[in-house]
Amino acid sequence: MTWKLFSLLLEASLMTLLVSSISILVGLGIAIVLSGMRMSGNRALFAITGVFISFFRGVPLLVQLLLIYNLLPVLGLTLPSLATAIIGLSLCTAAYQAENLRGGFEGVPKGLVESAEMAGFSPVQTFIHIRTPIALRMTFPALVNEAILILKSSSLVSAIGLIELTKMAQNLAASTYMPLPIFASAGVIYLAINLVVAWLGRRAENALPGLPTK
């Protein structure tokens, strides 16, 4: 294991960080919209979100990515690998994040919602300004956990053409025929990234305002 090989792994981990961080944020946005749809009281919207969440949690990410990658061109839409990877990862994490958020939305104190409505907020305004911030605050640790899971799952986007950390490790293993030190190094880099994310998560959590009590 030379420094040259290690620095190639480090370089490739930037792609891992890029794809995961964009997907986490886009996924969070989708998850909030899904939660809104689920709480809208509209039966059709409720059913759609149910199927969406069930599908993206139920099907392995690798299978999802390959389906998106190979089916979209048949429908006439050929997106580059990076876009496909971000779409796939975002949709998948959105389903998990929507599940995480559900607990948070259920925990929003009823009194707060009622007083917002009395103050003349529309249901949509209440959702955006009252429910969502509180639900996000309550489920923040779950968000950090999900970020770590996505960082690790992002290794699967190599199957559709992105060279991120795991793919680089596989490539280097396939040209040096010394897979063990290379995979071990990749593991160390993943661990370092995830420890930093977990640490930042704890710091952020302490910095966030406290929760309203029931």
Partner 1 sequence: MSFDFAVILAQGPKILSGIVVTILIWVGGNVAAAVLGFLIATLRRFGGRGVDVLLQVPIEVIRGTPFLVQIFLLYFGGPYIGLRLDPITAGFIGISVYGAAYYAEIFRAGYRSVPVGHVEAAECVGFSRNQIIRFVLLPEMALLVLPPSINMAIILLKETALLSLITVPEMTMTVSAIGSQQYAFVEALVVLALVYWALVEVANWLGRIAERKLSKLSA
Partner 2 sequence: MRKHFLAALAGAAVTLGSTVVAQADALDDVMEAGVLRVGTETAFAPFDFIDAGTHTGLNTDVFAAIGEEMGVEIEWITLDWTGVLPGLEAGRFDVVAGPATITKERAERYRFSSPIAEATVAILACADCDIEAPEDIAGKPIGSATGTAQLKQLQEFASTLDTPPTEINEYVSFNESYADIAAGRIEAVANSLPNIAFVAQQRPEVFKVVTPAFGTPTYFGYPGRIEPEFATLMDKIDEILLAMKEDGRMAELQEKWFGTTFDMPDYVTEPNI
Give the CA angle between residues 200, 205, 206 to the nearest 5°: 100
Q: Does 49 bind partner 1 (CB under 8 A)?
A: no
Q: Which does 128 bind (CB under 5 to 8 A by kind): partner 2, partner 1, none?
A: none
Q: Does 202 bind partner 1 (CB under 8 A)?
A: no
Candidates 25, 63, 71, 211; binder of partner 2 (CB under 8 A) is 71
Candidates 159, 189, 194, 198; binder of partner 2 (CB under 8 A) is 159
Interacting positions 93-132 with partner 1 (CB under 8 A): 99
Candidates 50, 60, 111, 133; binder of partner 1 (CB under 8 A) is 60
Candidates 8, 28, 30, 61; binder of partner 1 (CB under 8 A) is 61
Candidates 191, 200, 204, 208; binder of partner 1 (CB under 8 A) is 191
Least spacing, CB of residue 164 vs partner 2, in Å: 12
Least spacing, CB of residue 43 vs partner 1, in Å: 20
CA distances from 181 to 1, 6, 7, 76, 169 (A): 6, 10, 14, 43, 10
* Rounded (10°) angle between helices 3-39 and 165-176: 150
- The smaller minimum CB distance to partner 1, of residues 25 and 67, is found at 67
Please give the Cα distance from 154 to 139 (Å, whole number).
22
Q: Does 205 bind partner 2 (CB under 8 A)?
A: no
Q: Does 64 bind partner 1 (CB under 8 A)?
A: yes
Least spacing, CB of residue 184 vs partner 2, in Å: 13
- The smaller minimum CB distance to partner 1, of residues 26 and 149, is found at 149
Measured in degrees and rounded to the nearest 5, phi and psi for residue 183 equal -65, -35
Question: Measuring CA to CA, which residue among 63, 54, 70, 65 is closest to residue 88?
Answer: 65
Contacts by residues 174-181 (CB-CB < 8 Å, ≥ 24 positions apart): 176/5, 178/1, 181/1
Please give the Cα distance from 141 to 71 (Å, whole number).
35
Q: Does 74 bind partner 2 (CB under 8 A)?
A: yes
Tokens of 182: 């290379």
Q: Are 1 and 185 in contact (CB under 8 A)?
A: yes
Q: Mapping DSSP to helix (H, G, I), strand (E, B) and coil, where does residue 208 land?
A: coil
Which residues of the chain form contacts with partner 1 (CB under 8 A)? 54-55, 57-64, 66-67, 70-71, 74, 99, 148-149, 152-153, 155, 166, 169, 179-180, 183-184, 186-187, 190-191, 194-195, 198
